[in-house]
Chains A and B, each alone.
Chain A
Amino acid sequence: MNAEALAFYALAAMVLVGGFLVVQSRNLVHAAISLVPTLLGVAGLYVLLNAEFVTAIQILIYVGAITVLILFVILLTEGATGLRVRQRNEQVPLALLVCGILVVLFLVVLLRVPWGPPTGPMPAYNPGAVGRSFLMPYVLAFEVTSLVILASLVGAIVVARREG
Chain B
Amino acid sequence: MGLGGLLDALWQVEFLRMVVLAAVVFTFLAVGGPLFLVLAERKISAWIQARVGPKHVGPHGILQTVADTVKLLQKESIVPHRADVVLFTAAPVLVAVAALLDWIVIPFAPGVIVRDLNVGILYFAAVSSLTVIGILTGGWASNNKYSLLGGLRSAAQMVSYELPLGFSLLVVATLTGTLSTVRIVEAQPYPAHFYPSVIVAAVVFLIAATAEANRIPFDLPEAEAELVAGYFSEYTPMRFALFQLGEYGALLASSALFTTLFLGGWKGPFALPGVGPVVDGMVWFLLKTYAVVFFLMWVRWTYPRSRIDQLLNVSWKILLPVSMANLLVAGVLVVLG
Chain A residues engaging chain B, CB cutoff 8 angstroms: 2-4, 6-7, 29-30, 33, 36, 47-50, 52-53, 55-57, 59-60, 63-65, 67-69, 71-72, 75-76, 81-82, 122, 125-128
Query: Which of B66-74, B119-127, B286-294, B322-330 sits within the interface?
Result: B119-127
Partner of B4, one of A29, A47, A76, A82: A47
User: Judging by beta carbons under 8 Å apart, are B137 and A53 in contact?
Assistant: no
The answer to whether the Cβ of B188 comes within 8 Å of any Cβ in the partner chain is no
Q: How far is the CB of A75 from chain B (nearest CB, A)?
A: 6
B179, CB-defined interface residue at 8 Å: yes
CB distance from B103 to the nearest CB of A (A): 16
Closest 9 CB pairs of A and B: A64-B129, A3-B11, A50-B2, A59-B126, A60-B126, A56-B122, A3-B7, A56-B119, A48-B4
On whether the beta carbons of B118 and A75 are closer than 8 Å, the reply is no
**Subset of 28 A-B contacts with CB under 8 Å:** A4-B7, A7-B7, A29-B137, A29-B140, A36-B133, A47-B4, A48-B3, A48-B7, A49-B4, A50-B2, A50-B3, A52-B3, A53-B119, A56-B122, A56-B125, A57-B122, A59-B123, A59-B127, A60-B125, A65-B159, A65-B162, A72-B152, A72-B159, A75-B152, A122-B2, A125-B118, A126-B178, A128-B177
Task: With a 10 A CB-CB cut-off, give which of A36, A52, A76 has the most chain B CB atoms.
Answer: A52
User: Measured between C-beta atoms, what is the minimum distance from A83 to chain B in Å?
Assistant: 12
On chain A, the residues within 8 Å of B177 by CB distance are 126-128
For the side of the interface on B, what is the size category?
Answer: 35 or more
Q: Would B7 and A67 count as touching, CB distance under 8 A?
A: no
Other-chain contact of B8, A2, A33, A36, A52 (Cβ < 8 Å): A2
Majority DSSP secondary structure for residues of A touching B: helix
Please give the distance in Å from A58's CB to the nearest CB on chain B: 8
Choose among A7, A60, A67 the residue that contacts B133 (Cβ–Cβ < 8 A): A67
Bound-state Cα–Cα, A7 to B8, Å: 10
Name the interface residues of B130-144: CB closer than 8 Å to any CB of A.
130, 132-133, 136-137, 140, 143
Inter-chain contact A71/B4, CB cutoff 8 Å: no
Once bound together, how far apart are the Cα atoms of A56 and B8, in whole Å?
Answer: 22
Decide yes or no whether B44 CB sits under 8 A from chain A. no
Q: What A residues does B87 contact at CB under 8 A?
A: 29-30, 33
**Chain A residue nearest in CB terms to B1:** A50
The answer, among B2, B136, B143, B178, for a CB contact under 8 Å with A52, is B2
* Residues of B contacting A52 in the complex (Cβ-Cβ under 8 angstroms): 2-3, 117-119, 123
Identify which of residues 67-123 in chain B touch chain A, using a CB-to-CB cut-off of 8 Å: 84, 87, 117-119, 122-123
Residues of A within 8 A of B119 (CB): 52-53, 55-56
List chain B residues, Cβ under 8 A from A71: 133, 136-137, 140, 155
Q: Do A53 and B133 touch across chains, with their CB atoms under 8 A apart?
A: no
CB A143 to nearest CB in B, in angstroms, measures: 18
Question: Which residues on A sit within 8 Å (CB–CB) of B4?
Answer: 4, 47-50
Chain B residues near A48 (CB-CB < 8 A): 3-4, 7
Which residues in B have their C-beta under 8 angstroms from that of A63?
Answer: 126, 129-130, 133
Q: How far is B165's CA from A92's CA once the two chains are assembled, in angstroms?
A: 45
